[in-house]
Chain A
Amino acid sequence: MKKNKINYSKEHKKYLKQIKIDKFTTLVAQVLLLVAIVGLWELLTYVGVLDAFFISSPSRMINELVELFKDGMLFYHIGVTLYETLIGFLIATVLGTLIAIILWWSRKLRKILEPYIVILNALPKIALGPVIIIWVGAGTGAIITMCILICIVITTLSMLSAFLECDEDKISLMRSMGANKFQILVKLVIPNALTEFVSVLKINVGMSWVGTIMGEYLVSKAGLGYLIVYGGQVFQLDLVMASTLVLCILACVMYLFVGLLEKKVRKHKE
């Protein structure tokens, strides 16, 4: 790549420069937007146009976080929520994919279960909250169950459709070489669905946070969702806003990780 650089024409250099400028101005605008929002928020609450009691303010959020950190509670709450989310995310992804494999394998089972899956998908899972608490108990288990329920149906449906989309010609090719169903699954259908799998991971990153926070709203004694609910109940908007901010950052980091994985997988796409 470096060798070619010398041979670039003036026009091409200009073109490359334009791309760089474009990228840079977008980034600057993005940063400015953030600074403007934070600054305006701080300013308006400082001069009293807006009531910091109702909408908090950036400085108060930071103070709140520092206080939590000093008490040693910040990372405790983050840890609880992160644990619930990751476990829920993993179980839902693995289990959902396994169910999809079983449904791919048996056409008959797929036909039989189809209406039930459609209903399960349409059902707002939060409605099952009381049932989950009674069955699993009001604790971490219930939160993780909620998280799994929210992720698993969409995982199964997306993976199943990815498996079924596999090219018929490629399956015939495998069969003409004497492949059995298991070989077709492992050597063709699953690797073929890898890109879709990464998309499912991306969806599940978002969904698992939704599930966990919903679960925490219902039953928790700790975690970011708990802090938000608690903060709301005692009218401490600083706590609510600060916790939401932390949640934002955590979800972003998790999304970035999946993004890295995606880059690796997409390398050899047709």
Chain B
Amino acid sequence: MDNYLQLKDISLSYHTKEGEVLALKNIDFSVKKNEFVSIVGPSGCGKTTILSLISGLLKPSSGEVLLDGEKITKDTSIGYMFQRDNLFPWRTIYKNVTIGLEIKHQKKDKESLSHVDDLLNKYGLHDFKNSYPSQLSGGMRQRAALIRTLCLKPKILLLDEPFSALDYQTKLSVCDDVHSIITKENQTAILVTHDISEAISVSDRIIVLSKRPATIKCIQKIEIDRALTPLKRRESPEFSKYFDLIYRELTSEKK
């Protein structure tokens, strides 16, 4: 499964009254199954736009996106995690987590429900099933948000800076947490971030984007033992080497 997710020569323009803005230009890459890929780039370059394209929320001006050999449609199961957990404050954790099943009318499906229970048990949220989001810490809430997406058994997880709203300590531990859950559940994930260290600590590969219109500057393979936690990976000797490489790519002005 070398080409689980494929973006084929994608370009995208935004249309405003003032004119047309080319946001993405010739974006072409693929992601393997169970791979963890990060996208880094200067702010406002269109990282989130790429996620919107993969999730089908946006359509490209040209080119196509294929997931598992098929075009993305409304029914393709995609997991999306945002900067904020976006839990609904009026729902209990359980009802928040199962909202996807509700939408897909699987609320009475025994198999799906036992999967939900499994996930809640495995990741320590079972005791908080009937709590409301306001009663949970930021890290727990983000974990609940992840389980919410996993309940639908998504084909791919899209992470849009999911740690950037947390304070530094929490960020590191939640990052470990989320990474281990994703690995255990054999998920394919794409993380968008502006934090180079974060990207190196979790990814198998990093895609570096240029300023707008965003093109791919380079794709860097990260060869640090995948069995290590992100926190441990930060301590590995290669870490700073990769940091240097990517930092230089990001700041270089060559076109």
Contacts and interface: CB of A to CB of B under 8 A. Distances in A.
Interface residues of B, number: 27
Interface in B79-103: 79-80, 82-84, 86, 88-90, 99-100, 102-103
Interface string B142-185: 00000001001000001000000000000000000000000000
Contacts of B132: 268
A268 B90 contact: yes
Given A167-B86, A270-B133, A177 B57 contact: no
A173 B132 CA distance: 19
B3 interface: no
Contacts of A269: 89, 134
Nearest to A194: B90
Given A191-B88, A194-B90, A269-B89, A172 B99 contact: no
A161 interface: no
B103 A179 contact: yes
Interface in A178-205: 178-179, 183, 187-188, 191-192, 194
Contacts of B86: 167, 169-170, 173
A177 B103 contact: yes
Nearest to A195: B90
A56 to B, nearest CB: 49
Contacts of B99: 177, 187
B82 A270 contact: no
Interface in B115-132: 132
A174 B82 CA distance: 12
Interface string B54-84: 0101000000000000000011011110111
A187 B89 contact: no
A177 B84 contact: no
B104 interface: yes
20 contacts: A169-B82, A169-B84, A170-B86, A170-B88, A172-B82, A173-B86, A176-B55, A176-B57, A176-B78, A176-B79, A176-B80, A176-B158, A177-B100, A177-B103, A177-B152, A178-B104, A192-B88, A194-B90, A268-B89, A269-B134
Interface of B: 52, 55, 57, 74-75, 77-80, 82-84, 86, 88-90, 99-100, 102-104, 132-134, 149, 152, 158
Given A170-B86, A174-B103, 10 more contacts: A169-B82, A169-B83, A172-B52, A172-B82, A173-B86, A188-B88, A268-B90, A268-B134, A269-B89, A270-B89
